[in-house]
Amino acid sequence: MTEFDYRDGMLHAENIAVSEIAEQVGTPFYCYSTAALTNRYNALRDALAAQDVTICYAVKANSNQAVIRTFAELGAGADIVSEGELRRALAAGVPADRIIFSGVGKTRDELAYALSENIHKINVESVPELEVLGEIAAERGAEIGIRVNPDVDAKTHEKISTGKADNKFGIDIGRALDVFAKARAMPGVKPVSVAVHIGSQLTDLAPLRAAYETVAELVTALRADGHEIDSIDLGGGLGIRYKDETPPPLADYARIVQETTGNLGCQLFVEPGRMLVGNAGILVTRVIYDKQGQSRRFVIVDAAMNDLVRPAMYDAYHEIQPVRETRANTSTTDADIVGPICETGDTFARGRALPPLKTDDLLVFQSAGAYGAVMASTYNSRLLVPEILVKGDKFAVVRRRPSYDELLKQDQLANWQ
């Protein structure tokens, strides 16, 4: 049994029929598998077991507190990029000393709050940020990391590439020695870590090797310059299978980590997000109409781009299948799967082979656990969809669907004159 598979003609999430969940909570909804989250975390932990590595889950991939708590109970820390994510991680039970704060636009208030919570480390990404942090930390003190930009092309989608010279992230590695020296001269600031992250959805390990080798050379140079570098943050970015990608074996990734950084005596941090949650979640939707246009067939569903924006934003691919298993001899025709939002961009897929469908049939979007619900909005005044966590033969609503009254009350009309 896999975490999501067909049995008795119906798709199951672990030991529960997806149709049963749909009947109880309505559609659309996200569904996550506890077993899948656990299995993926344990696989990465075991691959890196020979090294001093802390896994900090990248909360931005899926910030549901039940998901974060699942990883926290397995021993994970958290990689966060905002005060809101920091508060979510703490509320979900992640110890403060296992939280790392990254991101290019940390505000003064966010930096002060992070220091007040005594999180493990703040990764500084610019000289102006360093100067602000220096002012805040002058009296209380702070050990920090500095994120460098190694100018390595991750060979991934341009909108999720973060390690090239023309990306907004990190400090140009050619300036690193000067910036570390500036940080060391500041009262209360001690730079002890180098951080790097070159992008997301990487299926080729060569760019990671290149980035890690560059960072290792920098650590050696920094130590020669008198810095006490005790840790390296290697970021995340490992990809998953959406269509026909071949993600690299975790053993190969672990070997690269060992070969590039193993002789430095540093504590290591990795920040996986998508590879932990992407294939641990699905989006379930219901057919509204199967419409035959003049030249195209449209399957209109009750999920929309506000629920899952990746196809509209990145032209991202998600496998789409009926929840009821299709018989081998069933005829199919090509269809565009679209949502009800008044945007042509509200299109999930074009030209997918699907059997005849009728109103209320259920479809499932695979590989929707990462950058799905976390990027959702209420565009067209649509309600945020619920999130479900399955464990064995039980499930829980870990984010409920709000009511229209709650949506309207957010506008505070009574305060407008």
Each residue of 199-236: pLDDT tens digit? 878 998 998 999 999 999 999 999 999 999 999 999 99
Instruction: Write down the pTM of the prediction.
Output: 0.94
Using pLDDT thresholds of 50, 70 and 90, give the confidence band for residue 103: very high
Structural domain spans, the chain: 4-32+278-409, 34-276
**Average pLDDT over every residue of 154-166:** 47
E strand or H helix at 20 = helix 18-25
**Average pLDDT over every residue of 182-194:** 95
**When comparing pLDDT for 157 and 262, which is higher?**
262
Q: Catalogue the E-assigned strands of 8-84.
A: 10-13, 16-17, 29-33, 53-58, 77-80
Rounded Cα distance between 142 and 187, Å, is 10
Least reliable range by pLDDT among 165-174, 266-275, 297-306:
165-174
Rounded Cα distance between 313 and 134, Å, is 37
**When comparing pLDDT for 393 and 152, which is higher?**
393
Answer yes or no: is pLDDT of 296 > 60.
yes
Residue 170: the pLDDT is 82
Strand 4-7 and strand 267-270: the pairing is unpaired
> Which CATH superfamily includes the segment(s) 34-276?
Alanine racemase (3.20.20.10)
Distance of CA 104 to the CA centre of its chain: 17
Residue 164: the pLDDT is 46
Using pLDDT thresholds of 50, 70 and 90, give the confidence band for residue 255: very high
Using pLDDT thresholds of 50, 70 and 90, give the confidence band for residue 300: very high
**Average pLDDT over every residue of 147-173:** 63
**Average pLDDT over every residue of 50-54:** 95
Residue 151: the pLDDT is 72
Write the DSSP assignment of 298-328 as a string of letters: EEEES--TTT--HHHHH-----EEESBPPPT
Residue 416: the pLDDT is 65
Catalytic residue list contains 266: no
188: tokens are 């209360």
Q: What is the dihedral of CA 271, 273, 276, 282, to 10 degrees?
A: 180
Task: Report the half-sphere exposure of 315 (CA within 13 A, side-chain side).
Answer: 4
Residue 149: the pLDDT is 87
Instruction: Name which CATH class applies to 4-32+278-409.
Output: mainly beta
Q: Name the amino acid, one letter, at 291.
A: K
Residue 162: the pLDDT is 47
Each residue of 80-101: pLDDT tens digit? 999 999 999 999 999 999 999 9
Residue 160: the pLDDT is 42
Of 98, 211, 108, 102, nearest in space to 156 by CA: 211
3-state helix, strand, coil split of the chain in percent (to 5) is: 35, 25, 40
Each residue of 258-290: pLDDT tens digit? 999 999 999 999 999 999 999 999 999 999 999
Residue 199: the pLDDT is 83
Of 212, 274, 267, nearest in space to 237 by CA: 274
Each residue of 313-362: pLDDT tens digit? 989 999 999 999 988 788 999 999 999 999 999 999 999 999 999 999 99
Rounded Cα distance between 410 and 63, Å, is 21
Each residue of 388-402: pLDDT tens digit? 999 999 999 999 999
Question: Which of the following is catalytic: 31, 56, 266, 342?
Answer: 342
CB 382 within 8 A of CB 306: yes
Average pLDDT, the chain: 93
Residue 159: the pLDDT is 44
Answer yes or no: is pLDDT of 163 > 50.
no
CB 146 within 8 A of CB 178: no
Lookup result for tokens 């929840």: 323
**Average pLDDT over every residue of 131-152:** 90
